[in-house]
Amino acid sequence: MKTRNEKNIAALITILFIASVMLFAASITFIMLVQEFRTLDIRLTVGNHIGFNTDTDKLYFGTLPRGNTASRNIVIENKEYEKSVVRLKVYGEIKGWVAVSENNFILKQGESKKVVIEAIAPEDAELKSYDSRLIVVFTRL
């Protein structure tokens, strides 16, 4: 006859096994759906003046005084896939300061879309440079 502890351990092992299988299945599904992802570094400097940076190695918003906004346009192209759902997500220090004009849209092969990326320097932001990253994910329908 099994003790109560043995039954609890067996139940816990069963639950962990089921959770592991579900996580593995979700990971495989995600991997099979993602066609491609692209990253673009973002830089915004909060300062006491307005400054511009036209370099193309990052998505630069330049220098903004607190409470001001800047926007940049990017063009997203689907060169390879028959159809893709495009999702944009910002990660990093300023993710709550950045908004995209369009998200979760479909691009057919050969299509492109201009997306406006807007950033705001909050009134309480520290005067310094902030870095983040924009991730663009292409997934199958």
DSSP string, 17-40: HHHHHHHHHHHHHHHHHEEEEEEE
Residue 106 lies in a domain: yes
pLDDT one-digit tens code per residue, 59-78: 999 999 999 999 999 999 99
Residue 98 lies in a domain: yes
**Structural domain total, the chain:** 1
Residue 30 lies in a domain: no
pLDDT one-digit tens code per residue, 87-120: 999 999 999 999 999 999 999 999 999 999 999 9
56: domain range?
A: 36-139
Mean pLDDT for the chain overall: 88
Residue 42 has pLDDT above 90, yes or no: yes
Model pLDDT, residue 5: 81
- pTM, full prediction: 0.72
